[in-house]
């Protein structure tokens, strides 16, 4: 094939990724051995990854990855890795995920850290502990990839205004974080690994001090692996509802950490913690969660929904700690796009569900593994609208768009608006497609709220929606067409839309 | 009050507008005399307009209207005129519109050419012919105001990318259309009046040649008054369904004219018809209606909805002319934001309704009285996204955004994105507010599709939505709070959002 894109190099780097990934199959393999479960799923996966990866590295890649090759690498990685990642589900053949379409959905949901599931029965009766651990691990591995993607690769490729991450507060430039992508990756991953171990440690410690009876080592590891990547998978059928209030507060804390720009932690470790306090995105992020959380807590505590139809949720209305905890947990889980649930918010009043639905569009911070639109984009959209109003009154005025002492240039602003508009339009079209297709499946027929939530939950990499796709339900009932379409949404949403669209333009491939 | 805004001048010009408007009450007055109906509603309205208008002109306005005074004038005009315009409804005291909130809703819907109605029973039993003619007249007068607003005032004030109208195709600059606003207004109004008379003539001629039994002089005038402003009010309870196929095709033709940039007709009259053929917006506008119309016609004719649930609409499926006519009529009515209906599309399959709902966001052409986002904005959004993808691959490339030989500058592009995003966000929030509030009204409880359509129908100045707010239904059942909110939506949507928001900023009023 004659093209301007050196796809050999992209495939070669993908090969290296697969080779490294093959080693990670050892964790579920060891788990299988420990519990006396079938090791074949992981042996097959490890061998295929190693073999395919090694074959690809033989393509003689160039040592330097160009601009176009970067886009191809990113798109291919989040396509090939989830495809290979279906093998444990397919070989194990347990439950609904034994079906190829379901396996692909679940694998894509894992590596994109979305957390939407097609597992109809999440229990150790149906699924082995080792396969469920692989499911958790896909999110942790996906999170590693996304961090590098967000902090080092996309800003370099100037996608969707991703460059603002590197402009955020003076001197906080990613190119200057470390001079090379490899070093940046290593720095981010150190923080990521450290927080993961800390989360596992804290979760397990709560059991040791008697505050979480059922937080076994397995559960601590499983949830530690899906908190930091804002993943949201849980081997418990009722998600974090299965655990005590103490565990739920701990999970809230680590979700907040997971949705924060990791570069800020890096600077804090480098002795510049002021970046964290002064960062406008971090402040807006906390403010957004505080506002949504307070609104929901008030609605749950008083039992007064926006619709003025009193819907007393059993055990919440009138119980202050419980109302606050449930409101804050769900708010943080949604805004950080983690997607855990500490109770079935399908039992809540519809108006509170609408609040959650809007919160799904916020997204966590840039420079984290969180998905959706992200706080810094909304912040700059708001600033741009304010400036537009100002310059409409004062046409002669020149007012730069500032954020934390830095100035966002016109190209960045335009990129951000393009991204947000594409995101909204893709969401709206997807809502309709999902809605309409649901009528092909007897007994599924979604209502508009459910279709809306299914679209944003997958495109925004949030995980659960409301109603049929609520936190204690799953996406298995959808048609194969819808499931493949939502798999596509998770993929394109995760790669910030534009980096996928770029590959689809003729200008990209032209010599 | 000490402020930087010379509000005396704005109020003075508003006074002149009211004085001129007082003369228009003579038409319904004469109608009342002819049919032997009560003349008091129009005497009162005329006197109040004249008195209030004269009082305001005494405020000694400056001869020149400044930038800020222009915004104030625009906002005030579409607030005060609709308020005074409630008088005929209130004095006549007929039917649901005798209630002050309903009267304001109906009057705002008229002067903004929205066409949403709160008349529960549109018939000559409940309402006099003269009051129903006043209702039609408000749209025609509103249309005159909007044409000047769109073509002469907003581009001058650089609101929401409105300046592209004046940039459209080389030499087609509005400032050059004629050197003074007064002359531009006169030029536009000549075309507007001519097309209105033509429409009335054609509608009535169809009766003369035996193709439209019930197209009386009254009906011809009434519908002529609401076609060109893309208004959509009808004194017939079943809108244009009441008339023959020939009338429906004629209405389609005049709706297409009404949604076209009037400046193009001006140039055609000046001997430059090539502007019409070469205009990118006009071509996109026809293309959009063609595509949506063809899709709907296919769905209606085959009876196959997007949901693959065959819903044979009686009298449509299998009847080619009828399917095409109904599809094209509804498409043109929605895309031009006229909002007439030639049948109750509530009887259609839900998937066709979803198509209509999306079509409500298109909007007609800039430089017409059509509402919603408008074709030129979508055209430039699409071009900008294409360029964004191109420059992502070729970061060094500089590619201007062209439209019909002209170049849209960065400020215009940003204004357009700001407008579209504000429009979408305001729409989404309004959907929720309308949805939630509907549960306060026993028996109203909207579904999400109905709430969505109510929001876009009012914000986009379309008129009817689907379901409860379908074309043969009305907005009367809503709570007063919702009706006032939708009155606000019609107002802010009509003034292109930004010109209202500008007035609300402190920077606008500061000395
Ligand atoms: K997630
Ligand atoms: K209308």
Return the HEC string of A151-197: HHHHHHHCCCCCHHHHHCCCCCCHHHHCCCHHHHHHHHHHHHHHHHH
Q: How many CB atoms within 10 Å of residue B302?
A: 13
Residue A385: its chain B contacts at CB < 8 A? 418, 421-422
Cβ separation of A392 and B68 shorter than 8 Å?
Answer: no
Q: Do B67 and A389 touch (CB under 8 A)?
A: no
Which residues, 6+ apart, have CB-to-CB distance to B154 below 8 Å?
B74, B160, B162, B496, B499
Report CA(B283)–ligand 1 centroid distance (Å).
43
ipTM: 0.89
Mean pLDDT of B334-356: 90
- Higher-scoring residue by pLDDT: A176, A111: A111
Closest approach of chain B CAs to the CA of A511, in angstroms?
A: 12
Transcribe B332-396 into DSSP letters: HHHHTT----SS-GGGS-HHHHHHHHHHTTT---TTSS--SS-HHHHHHHHHHHHHHHHHHH-TT
Q: Measured in angstroms, how far is the CA atom of residue A166 from the centroid of ligand 1?
A: 24
What is the pLDDT at residue A163? 62
Interface of A with B in 461-500 (CB under 8 A): 498
Flag whether pLDDT at A447 surpasses 90: no
Does residue A464 contact residue A339 with C-beta atoms inside 8 Å?
yes
Asked if A4 contacts A41 with a C-beta cutoff of 8 angstroms, the reply is no
pLDDT for B176 equals 45
Residue A393: which of B305, B389, B505 has the nearest Cβ? B505
Distance CA B449, CA B467 (A): 8
CA dist A350 and A352 (Å) reads 5
CA A475 to CA A459: how far, in whole Å? Answer: 14
The mean pLDDT of chain B is 88
Find residues 355-384 of chain A whose CB sits inside 8 Å of chain B. Answer: 358, 381, 384
pLDDT at A395: 76
Q: For residues B471 and B456, give the distance between their C-alpha atoms in angstroms, rounded to a whole number.
A: 14
Q: Indicate the SS3 state at residue B304.
A: coil
**Torsion, Cα of B198, B204, B209, B212 (10° steps):** 130
Q: Which residues contact A245 (CB under 8 A, 6 or more apart)?
A: A321, A325
Query: Nearest CA to A99 among A90, A108, A107, A91?
Result: A90
Distances (CA, A) of B10 to A434, B64, B162, B446: 50, 10, 21, 41
CB pairs under 8 A between A and B: 127
Task: Find the helix or strand (DSSP H, E) in which A226 lies.
Answer: helix A217-227
Least Cα separation, residue A60 to chain B (angstroms):
24
Contact A364, A260 (CB under 8 A): yes
pLDDT at A174 over 70: no
Sign, CA dihedral A180-A181-A184-A190, equals: negative
Contact criterion met (CB below 8 Å) for B354 and B306? yes
Q: With beta carbons under 8 A apart, name residues in chain B contacting A157.
A: 392
Q: In 3D, which of B503, B428, B416 has the Cα closest to residue B459?
A: B428
Interchain CB contact of A408 with B (< 8 Å)? no
User: What is each CA distance from A296 to A171, A244, A293, A360, B263, in whole angstroms?
Assistant: 38, 21, 5, 14, 51
Ligand 1 centroid distance, CA of B330 (Å):
41
Residue A431 Cα to ligand 1 midpoint, Å, equals 19
Q: Which residues of A touch B389 (CB under 8 A)?
A: 498, 501-502, 505, 507-508
CA of B112 to the centre of ligand 2 (A): 8
Parallel, antiparallel or unpaired: strands B406-408 and A406-408: unpaired
Cβ count near A374 (within 10 Å): 33
- pLDDT reported for residue A499: 87
A81's tokens: 């890795």
Distances, alpha carbon A346 to alpha carbons A274, A329, A467, B399, B446, in Å: 40, 15, 6, 49, 19
Q: Hey, is the C-beta of A399 within 8 angstroms of any chain B C-beta?
A: no
Q: What is the pLDDT of residue B169?
A: 37
Note which residues in 77-96 of chain A have CB less than 8 A from chain B: none
Give the number of residues written for chain B: 511
Q: If residue B407 lies in a helix (H) or strand (E), which one and from where to where? A: strand B406-408
Shortest CA gap A171–chain B (Å): 23
Q: Report residue A373 as tokens.
A: 């639109």
What separation in Å is there between the alpha carbon of B454 and the centre of ligand 2?
13
Closest Cβ opposite residue A417 in set B354, B421, B435: B421
User: Helices then strands (H, E): number in chain A?
Assistant: 24, 2
What pLDDT shows up at residue A279?
Answer: 87
Residue A276, pLDDT score: 82
* A397 touching chain B per CB within 8 A: no
CB neighbourhood size of A414 (10 A): 20
Q: Does B452 touch chain A (CB under 8 A)?
A: yes
Residue A402: phi, psi to the nearest 5? -95, 150
DSSP code for A347: G
Contact (CB, 8 A) for B474 and B118: yes
- pLDDT surpasses 80 at A39: yes
Question: What is the C-alpha to C-alpha distance for residues A451 and A166, in angstroms, rounded to an integer?
Answer: 36
Distance between CA atoms of B503 and A474, rounded to whole angstroms?
A: 48
Residues in chain B within 8 Å Cβ distance of A67: 393, 395
**Residue A406: DSSP 8-state:** E
Asked if B388 is an interface residue toward chain A (Cβ–Cβ < 8 A), one would say yes
Q: What is the mean pLDDT of residues B369-375?
A: 93
| B418:A413 CB<8 A | no
Contact A447 B447 (CB under 8 A): yes
- 3-state class (DSSP) for residue A403: strand
Place of tokens 């964004």: B388
Q: Which of B386, B388, B443 to mutate to test the interface with A (most CBs of A within 10 A)?
A: B388
Q: Does the pLDDT of residue A485 top 60, yes or no? A: yes
CA distance B495 to A428: 25
* pLDDT tens per residue across span A113-128: 999 999 999 999 999 9
Residue B458 sits at the vertex; the CA angle it makes with B457 and B464, to the nearest 5 degrees, is 40
* Chain B stretch 321-360, residues whose beta carbon is closer than 8 A to a beta carbon of chain A: 351, 354, 358
B385 at A interface, C-beta within 8 A:
yes
Q: Are B146 and B132 in contact (CB under 8 A)?
A: no
Establish if A511 touches chain B: CB-CB under 8 angstroms. no
Q: Provide mean pLDDT across the span B334-346.
A: 93
In this complex, the residue of A392, A421, A452 whose CB is nearest that of residue B381 is A421
Category of A476 on φ-ψ map: left (φ > 0), alpha (ψ -120 to 50) or beta? alpha
pLDDT band at A511 (very low <50, low <70, confident <90, very high): low
* pLDDT value, residue A278: 84
Q: How confident is the model at residue B161 (pLDDT cuts 50, 70, 90)?
A: low
Cα separation of B346 and B352, whole Å?
10
Torsion of CA B78, B81, B82, B84, to 10 degrees: 160
Pick the more confident residue, A346 or A51: A51
Q: Which 8-state DSSP code applies to residue B31?
A: H
Closest chain A residue to B413 measured between Cα atoms?
A414
Query: Residue A175 — pLDDT band, cuts 50, 70, 90?
Result: very low
Chain A partners within 8 Å of B418 (Cβ): 384-385, 388, 417
pLDDT of B314 over the 90 cut:
no
Give per-residue pLDDT as tens, A330-357. 999 999 999 999 998 888 888 888 899 9
Task: For residue A413, give how far its alpha carbon lies from the nearest alpha carbon of chain B (Å).
Answer: 8
d(CA B381, CA A115): 33
Place of tokens 């909110």: B485
Interchain CB contact of B454 with A (< 8 Å): no
The CA-to-CA distance between both ends of chain A, in Å, stands at: 11
Q: Is the pLDDT of residue B171 over 60?
A: no
> Cα distance from A263 to chain B (closest Cα, Å)?
24
Euclidean distance between CA atoms A335 and A329, whole angstroms: 10
Report how far ligand 1's centroid is from the alpha carbon of A114 (Å).
Answer: 4
* pLDDT confidence bin for A97, thresholds 50/70/90: very high
Measured over the CA atoms of residue A285, residue A287, residue A291 and residue A296, the dihedral's sign is positive
Q: What is the pLDDT of residues B221-249, one digit of tens each?
A: 999 999 999 999 999 989 999 999 999 99
State residue B211 phi and psi, 5-degree precision. -100, 0
Supply the DSSP symbol for B401.
E
Cα A112 to ligand 2 centroid, rounded to whole Å:
44
A330: how many CB neighbours lie within 10 A of its CB? 27
Quickly state the pLDDT bin for A164 (edges 50, 70, 90): low
Beta bridge partners of A446: none
Interface check for B421 against chain A (CB to CB < 8 A): the answer is yes
Q: Which of residues 215-274 of A touch B (CB under 8 A)?
A: none
Alpha helices (runs of H) in B59-128, residue ranges in sequence order = 67-84, 87-92, 100-111
Q: Which residue of B has its CA nearest to A437?
A: B307
Of all residues in chain B, what percent carry a pLDDT higher than 70?
A: 93
Position A165 pLDDT exceeds 70: no
The residue to which tokens 């001197």 are assigned: A171
Nearest CA in chain A to B432: A354
pLDDT band (50, 70, 90) for residue B352: confident
Select the more confidently predicted residue: B171 or B8. B8
């Amino acid at each position: 094939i004659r093209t301007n894109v050196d796809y050999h190099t992209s495939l070669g780097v993908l090969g290296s990724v697969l080779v490294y990934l093959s080693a990670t199959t050892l964790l579920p393999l060891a788990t299988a051995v420990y519990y006396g479960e079938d090791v074949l799923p992981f042996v097959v996966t490890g061998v295929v990854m190693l073999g395919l990866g090694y074959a690809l590295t033989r393509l003689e890649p160039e040592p330097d990855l160009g601009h176009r090759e970067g886009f191809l690498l990113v798109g291919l990685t989040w396509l090939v890795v989830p495809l290979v990642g279906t093998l444990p589900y397919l070989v194990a053949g347990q439950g609904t995920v034994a079906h190829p379409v379901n396996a692909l959905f679940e694998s894509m949901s894992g590596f994109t850290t979305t957390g939407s599931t097609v597992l109809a029965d999440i229990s150790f009766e149906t699924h082995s502990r080792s396969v469920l651990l692989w499911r958790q691990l896909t999110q942790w591995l996906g999170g590693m990839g996304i961090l590098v993607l967000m902090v080092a690769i996309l800003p370099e490729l100037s996608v969707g205004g991703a460059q603002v991450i590197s402009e955020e507060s003076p001197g906080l430039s990613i190119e200057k974080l470390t001079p090379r992508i490899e070093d940046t990756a290593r720095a981010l991953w150190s923080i990521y690994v450290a927080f993961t171990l800390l989360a596992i440690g804290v979760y397990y410690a709560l059991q040791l001090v008697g505050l979480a009876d059922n937080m076994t080592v397995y559960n601590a590891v499983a949830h530690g692996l899906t908190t930091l990547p804002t993943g949201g998978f849980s081997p418990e059928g009722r998600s974090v509802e299965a655990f005590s209030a103490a565990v739920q507060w701990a999970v809230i804390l680590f979700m907040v950490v997971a949705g924060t720009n990791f570069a800020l932690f890096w600077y804090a470790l480098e002795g510049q913690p002021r970046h964290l306090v002064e960062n406008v995105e971090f402040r807006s992020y906390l403010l957004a969660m505080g506002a949504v959380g307070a609104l929901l807590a008030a609605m749950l505590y008083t039992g007064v929904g926006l619709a003025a139809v009193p819907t007393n949720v059993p055990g919440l209305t009138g119980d202050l700690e419980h109302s606050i905890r449930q409101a804050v947990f769900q708010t943080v889980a949604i805004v950080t796009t983690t997607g855990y649930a500490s109770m079935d918010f399908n039992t809540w009043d519809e108006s509170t569900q609408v609040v959650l639905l809007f919160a799904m569009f916020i997204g966590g911070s840039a420079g984290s593994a969180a998905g959706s639109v992200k706080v810094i984009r909304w912040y700059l959209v708001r600033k741009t609208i304010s400036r537009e109003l100002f310059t409409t009154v004062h046409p002669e005025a020149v007012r730069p768009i500032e954020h934390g002492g830095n100035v966002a240039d016109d190209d960045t602003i335009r990129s951000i608006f393009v991204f947000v508009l594409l995101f909204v339009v893709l969401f709206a079209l997807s809502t309709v497609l999902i809605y309409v297709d649901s009528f092909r499946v007897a007994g599924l027929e979604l209502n508009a709220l459910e279709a809306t939530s299914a679209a944003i939950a997958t495109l925004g990499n949030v995980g659960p929606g409301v109603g049929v796709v609520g936190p204690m339900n799953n996406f298995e009932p959808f048609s194969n067409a819808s499931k493949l379409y939502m798999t596509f949404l998770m993929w394109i949403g995760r790669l910030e839309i534009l980096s996928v669209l770029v590959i689809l333009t003729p200008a990209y491939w032209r010599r």
